[in-house]
Amino acid sequence: MREFMLIFRNSTNSHDNPSPEQLQERMNWLAGIAAQNKLADKGNRLSASLAKTVKPNNVVTDGPYTEIKEFISGYMIVKADSIEEAIEFAQANPVLKAGGNVEVRAILKPEEKS
């Protein structure tokens, strides 16, 4: 079993307060993964206002979004037997109903190359 990071992206304001129904749907989704003992780290939301991008030559720009049209709104880490299982977790995430997407990335151990 290995760990996968789910990175949540949205093209709208990523920090709008969800409705009670949306919040319950998110909690149910998370609880379903936790009930399978597949939740490694519930992650957190990421700030949209306290964000900078540091580039070569001491260039610092506001936020990470200057070149992209999506907000990276949060992340979590799941344990899965395969990337296909991690994708199944991502496919059930409520962010997809709101027009967002989920990037699934394997977390590499120091000895792994890719």
Distance (Å, whole) CA 75 – CA 54:
21
In a domain, 7, yes or no: yes
In a domain, 13, yes or no: yes
pLDDT of residue 88: 95
Local structure of 102: helix, strand or coil: strand
Residue 81 sits in a domain whose CATH number is 3.30.70.1060
The DSSP annotation for 47-73 comes to: -SSS-EEEETTTEEEESS-SS-S-EEE
Distance (Å, whole) CA 86 – CA 70:
22
In a domain, 21, yes or no: yes
Q: Provide the residue range defining the domain that includes 101.
A: 2-106
Total domain count for the chain? 1
Local structure of 111: helix, strand or coil: coil
In a domain, 26, yes or no: yes
Distance (Å, whole) CA 5 – CA 85:
12
Assign 69 a pLDDT band (cuts: 50, 70, 90).
low
Assign 112 a pLDDT band (cuts: 50, 70, 90).
confident
Answer whether residue 14 shows pLDDT above 70.
no
In a domain, 114, yes or no: no
In a domain, 113, yes or no: no
In a domain, 34, yes or no: yes
Q: What is the mean pLDDT of residues 29-48?
A: 90
pLDDT of residue 67: 59
